[in-house]
């Protein structure tokens, strides 16, 4: 009996970005330098496999600082935190290390600068996402207005009539949807100030471009990532909007919806910025056990970005 054939197209780039890689290294190196346990406020990145792996090495994930013993190191996640969090850590005389992605920190500094210049701020992002909570928490409550949709942008009115406006964006948004929101804001407020350099990070932009290319070539697609990962969810949306109807988010091989992919001969595989390559390999192996598989990588861009670790961990 012959084994059915499947062609797997792998998006490149996919998986870990420099900010995620740095955050995981920070936890691992803190464990090496100071020993277990090391506490981490919230998931270091949005991926259960990564979190569980770090837990096995001695990381303890908590929701708030009052769960951390005073003499233990605590790490803030890659998504960034409100200013009140390090302030609380300092008031408790805790030793903390900030693993905020440098590209998120850039948005925080932009918010401070615009506020200092007397501008009224709009943040384009998703309510409740840790990055949005952290960015809005850089200033006093009410200083930043959240806009989630084109409709929000159309109905937005400044707190002070005639105020000079500026917008920022969450780093993991849909490039296309954000473009539509920005266009609506510019149409309504022609003088609105924009970031000097795009806030949506290079990795989000590159992975969405790769997912678009893949979607045009596939009749089925898998996005490896977590349901609470903004960048992974955006990849699912991008794939569906660009010609691939059968798209599923899977956390790992056990989640593959074989029924959904029945009849699909060319299957695309990509991974969100917080999903390790190990999980991509696991999915490929699951296909190889069921089918005769050929693999092709679809390269849309090359990445060579790296971020330095905090000085305290460099020795």
Bridge partner residues of 267 (DSSP): 8, 220
The pLDDT > 90 percentage for the chain reads 96
Model pLDDT for residues 82-137, shown as the tens digit of each residue: 999 999 999 999 999 999 999 999 999 999 999 999 999 999 999 999 999 999 99
pLDDT at 315: 67
**C-beta of residue 78 within 8 angstroms of C-beta of residue 100:** yes
Q: Kindly report the three-state secondary structure assignment for every residue of the chain.
A: CCCCEEEEEEEECCCCCHHHHHHHHHHHHHHHHHCCCEEEECCCCCCHHHHHHHHHHCEEEECCHHHCCCCCCEEECCCCCCCHHHHHHHHCCCCEEECCCHHHHHHHHHHHHHHHCCCEEEEECCCCCHHHHHHHCCCCCCCEEEECCHHHHHHCCCCCCCCCEEEEECCCCCHHHHHHHHHHHHHHCCCCECCCCCCCCHHHHHHHHHHHHHHHHCCEEEEECCCCCHHHHHHHHHHHHCCCCCEEEECCHHHCCCCCCCCCCEEEEEECCCCCHHHHHHHHHHHHHHCEEEEEEEECCCCCCCCCCCHHHCC
The residue-averaged pLDDT of 34-38 equals: 97
Q: Is the pLDDT at 196 greater than 90, yes or no?
A: no
Which residues of the chain form CATH 3.40.1010.20?
5-16+202-299, 103-188
Return d(Cα 26, Cα 44) in angstroms, integer: 10
Which residues of the chain form CATH 3.40.50.11270?
18-101
Could you give the angle at the alpha carbon of 154 between the alpha carbons of 151 and 159, nearest 5°?
Answer: 115
Is 157 catalytic? The answer is: no
pLDDT at 161: 87
**C-beta of residue 87 within 8 angstroms of C-beta of residue 109:** no
The residue-averaged pLDDT of 185-203 equals: 94
Average pLDDT, the chain: 96
The residue-averaged pLDDT of 207-216 equals: 97
Predicted confidence band at 70 (pLDDT cuts at 50, 70, 90)?
Answer: confident
> Of residues 43, 110, 120, 131, which has the active-site annotation?
131
The residue-averaged pLDDT of 141-148 equals: 96
Could you please state the CATH topology (level 3) that the domain comprising 103-188 is classified under: Cobalt-precorrin-4 Transmethylase; domain 1 (3.40.1010)
Predicted confidence band at 1 (pLDDT cuts at 50, 70, 90)?
Answer: low
Return d(Cα 141, Cα 121) in angstroms, integer: 12
In angstroms, the Cα distances linking 18 to 14, 23, 94, 307 are 12, 9, 27, 6
Sheet of 59-62, strand order: 59-62, 38-41, 74-76, 96-98
**C-beta of residue 244 within 8 angstroms of C-beta of residue 215:** yes
pLDDT at 162: 85
Second CATH level (architecture) for the domain 5-16+202-299: 3-Layer(aba) Sandwich (3.40)
**C-beta of residue 135 within 8 angstroms of C-beta of residue 170:** yes
The residue-averaged pLDDT of 76-80 equals: 97
Sheet of 247-250, strand order: 247-250, 220-224, 266-271, 5-12, 292-299
And the tokens for 248? 């599923």
Q: Which CATH code is given to the segment(s) 18-101?
A: 3.40.50.11270
Model pLDDT for residues 241-275, shown as the tens digit of each residue: 999 999 999 999 999 999 999 999 999 999 999 99
């Amino acid at each position: 009996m012959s084994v059915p054939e499947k062609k797997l197209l792998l998006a490149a780039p996919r998986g870990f970005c420099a900010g995620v890689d740095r955050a995981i290294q920070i936890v691992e190196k803190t464990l090496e330098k100071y020993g277990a346990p090391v506490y981490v406020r919230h998931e270091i990145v949005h991926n259960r496999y990564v979190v569980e792996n770090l837990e096995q090495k001695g990381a303890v994930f908590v929701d708030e600082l009052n769960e951390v013993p005073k003499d233990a190191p605590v790490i803030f996640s890659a998504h960034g935190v409100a200013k009140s969090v390090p302030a609380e850590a300092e008031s408790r005389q805790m030793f903390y290390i900030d693993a905020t992605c440098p590209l998120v920190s850039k948005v925080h500094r932009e918010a401070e600068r615009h506020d200092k210049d007397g501008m009224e701020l709009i943040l384009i992002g998703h309510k409740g996402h840790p990055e949005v909570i952290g960015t809005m928490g850089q200033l006093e409550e009410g200083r930043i207005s959240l806009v989630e949709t084109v409709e929000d942008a159309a109905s937005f009115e400044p707190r002070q009539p005639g105020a000079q406006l500026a917008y920022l964006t969450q780093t993991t948004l849909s490039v296309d949807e954000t473009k539509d929101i920005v266009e609506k804001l510019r149409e309504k407020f022609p003088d609105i100030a924009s970031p000097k350099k795009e806030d949506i990070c290079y990795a989000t932009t590159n992975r969405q471009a790769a997912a678009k290319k893949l979607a045009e070539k596939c009749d089925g697609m898998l996005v490896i990532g977590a349901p609470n990962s903004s960048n992974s969810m955006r990849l699912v949306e991008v794939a569906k909007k660009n010609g691939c109807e059968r798209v599923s988010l899977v956390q790992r091989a056990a989640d593959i919806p074989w029924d959904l992919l029945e009849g699909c001969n060319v299957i695309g595989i990509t991974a969100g910025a917080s999903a390790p390559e190990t999980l991509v390999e696991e999915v490929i192996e699951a296909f190889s056990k069921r089918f005769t598989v050929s693999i092709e990588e679809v390269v849309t861009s090359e990445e060579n970005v790296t971020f330095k670790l905090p000085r305290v961990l460099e020795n």
